Chain A
Amino acid sequence: MDKKALMIAANKVRQGIITGVYNAKCGHPGGSLSAAEIFTYLYFEEMNIDPKNPKMEDRDRFVLSKGHVAPGLYSTLANRGFFDVEALKTLRHTGSFLQGHPDMKGVPGVDMSSGSLGQGLSAAVGMALAARLQNKDYRVYCLCGDGEIEEGQIWEAAMFAGHRKLDNLVLFVDNNNLQIDGSLDEVCSPNPIDKKFEAFNFYVQVINGNDFDEIAQALKNAREHKGQPSAIVAKTLKGKGVSYMENSCGWHGKAPNAEEYEIAMKELKEEEAALCQM
């Protein structure tokens, strides 16, 4: 896909996030929106997957370690064709397969259940190790929050991945700099993030995580870099794409009301129209 098509796809992903969270009347839009380009690039360009065969044996895997941004993953999977986009309106509803946090048993395309912060990276490391042990060439991608890496288990997993030189593993850290109680520096700073992963024997790149060119280049570099797992520290804007949600802690885990929903969708549709005319 060319950059314009990717940008349109990311816009659609954002519309799906807003639709899902609005209909759920709760959920996590901020971190879903910040990671829209990462989700989009992985599922529309990078990963070897088949929406018609979500359990394809040697597919690339993705683990959403920051499971609360399920709306972002679900919207991406739906827009990629794993299931009907209309289903996003059932997010978090009783009986829906779209649980508040990803459930691998229920959602086509979800490779690992997650939601309890700090655990997903370990599972991703297990998948990358499985590929190594079974002489398979699939790759494993993981997305963590920058607040999430305050969890100790992340560093246990990082130590193991670095020690085992799992170069088929790519970790994105969605570095939007905000967590529930405030900015990273106000709460319990994990900075400098890049230096920490370097110390754990990762190949580290720092990029603009809302820019497709930089995501593409970083993933290409990661693929070519042998002997170390990759960490891509993706500087992003929390809430990106919806003016009043941008760079605001308040929109970490809150749904828009009817009026706010209209504003958000209007902004996104205007952006979509502008992109289509490019």
Chain B
Amino acid sequence: MSDVKKIATRDSYGNALAELGAEFPNLYVLDADLAAATKTSTFKKAFPERHIDCGIAEANMTGIAAGLATCGIVPFISSFAMFAAGRNFEQVRNSIGYPHLNVKIGATHAGISVGEDGASHQCNEDMALMRSIPGMVVICPSDDVEAKAAVRAAYEYNGPVYLRFGRFGVPVINDNADYKFEIGKGITLKDGSDITIVATGLCVSQALEAAETLAAEGVSARVINIHTVKPLDEELIIKAAKETKMLFTVEEHSIIGGLGSAVCECLAENHPAKVVRIGMRDRFGESGPAAELIHKYGLDAEGIVKTVKENI
């Protein structure tokens, strides 16, 4: 897929904020000394008076956002997933989640695709943490088109939203006229009758590529893009469980608490089916180029194909 245009979703995030900022004067962006990395610097350049740098103090940034939200401002707080969701879990839960305030959390540098910075900065637990907060929407977009649509949808939605972005360039796969983003609605990207691959984030393009390889080998794989991990599109998942033999979930996240868990919870209660979770298997990441890590941990097309073949 080397000829395909690649964009990191953190760039999409910064660009989307700058676009929305022009439309909505009550949109503010808060950073914790990472505007250059979270790409909110794009917004900062366009609307310096609406960009608030809180310094290296994420907990306070989160509380400030809560206070701003009570006064009619729509704040997007930005940091790395490790800090936005990890360090901040309790602030997000108690200052934003419990009062259900209209704060958006833009978390970049999620998952192992952070790369060389290594395990301390590779947050593979953020979706698990955020998903557990009552009323929190959790979105993990798969490419530039979806990420920008997600930022707009998050602004238009009244309530807390966690947005997960990456620093690694990913192929643009949703650049078509029919594309429509709706919070909580999964997208069937490819139909198939033998198995279903349910993917989120940067794993979606890998899942599509895996499905092509599998098709050549006689396995018909359905591919579902779950951009909204919470609320999960249960109807689409149950339908896939009824129509195909087994499901494979793929995420750049721990297999505990993220997409894989959400799919298992849904099916265990509604239509028990075999689910194989592809993700970080209860371990930390490590330093290395993002593409190599994605390959090493079996999250690329090759790894997905291998896991599918081992299980069908």
Contact = CB atoms under 8 A, between A and B. Distances in A.
Given A133-B28, A133-B73, A126 B67 contact: yes
Contacts of B65: 126
A45 interface: no
A160 B60 contact: yes
Interface in A209-248: none
Given A104-B99, A116-B94, A130 B57 contact: no
Interface string A109-120: 001110110111
Given A113-B94, A153-B59, A159-B57, A122 B64 contact: yes
A156 B57 contact: yes
10 contacts: A112-B99, A122-B62, A125-B60, A126-B63, A126-B65, A127-B68, A130-B70, A133-B73, A156-B55, A157-B60
Interface residues of A, number: 33
B57 A160 contact: yes
What size tier do the contact residues of chain B reach? 20 to 34
Q: Is the interface of A mostly helix, strand, loop or mixed?
A: helix
Q: Which of B55, B65, B99, B100 has the most CB of A within 10 A?
A: B99
B66 interface: yes
Interface in A192-217: none
B63 A157 contact: yes
A82 to B, nearest CB: 17
A130 B60 CA distance: 15
Q: Top 8 nearest A-B pairs by Cβ distance?
A: A126-B67, A122-B63, A130-B71, A156-B60, A156-B57, A126-B64, A123-B67, A113-B99
B235 to A, nearest CB: 30
Contacts of B57: 153, 156, 159-160
Contact of A105 (B52, B72, B91, B100): B100
A121 interface: yes
B60 A111 contact: no
B99 A105 contact: yes
Q: Which of B54, B55, B57, B63 has the most CB of A within 10 A?
A: B63
A124 interface: yes
Nearest to B75: A126
Q: Is the interface of B mostly helix, strand, loop or mixed?
A: helix
A24 interface: no
Q: Which of A104, A113, A121 has the most CB of B within 10 A?
A: A113
A111 B63 contact: no
Nearest to B67: A126
Given A133-B28, A134-B71, A160-B57, A125 B94 contact: no
Nearest to A131: B71
A159 B62 contact: no
Nearest to B95: A119
B66 A153 contact: no
B157 interface: no
Interface of B: 28, 50, 52, 54-55, 57, 59-60, 62-73, 90-91, 94-95, 98-100
Contact of A126 (B66, B90, B94, B99): B66
Interface in A150-203: 152-153, 156-157, 159-160, 163
A129 interface: yes
Contacts of A116: 90, 94-95
A61 B98 CA distance: 19
A159 to B, nearest CB: 7
A112 B60 contact: no
Given A116-B90, A125-B63, A160-B60, A130 B68 contact: yes
A126 B68 contact: yes
B71 A121 contact: no
A153 to B, nearest CB: 5
B70 A112 contact: yes
A123 B98 contact: no
A112 B90 CA distance: 16
A127 B94 contact: no
A156 B73 CA distance: 21
B28 A123 contact: no
Contact of A112 (B67, B72, B91): B67
Q: Which of A63, A123, A125, A133 has the most CB of B within 10 A?
A: A123
A112 B101 CA distance: 10
Nearest to A104: B99
A113 B98 CA distance: 8
B97 to A, nearest CB: 10
Contacts of A133: 28, 50, 68, 73
A117 B183 CA distance: 34
Contacts of A125: 60, 63-64, 67
Contacts of A61: 70
Contacts of A113: 94-95, 98-99
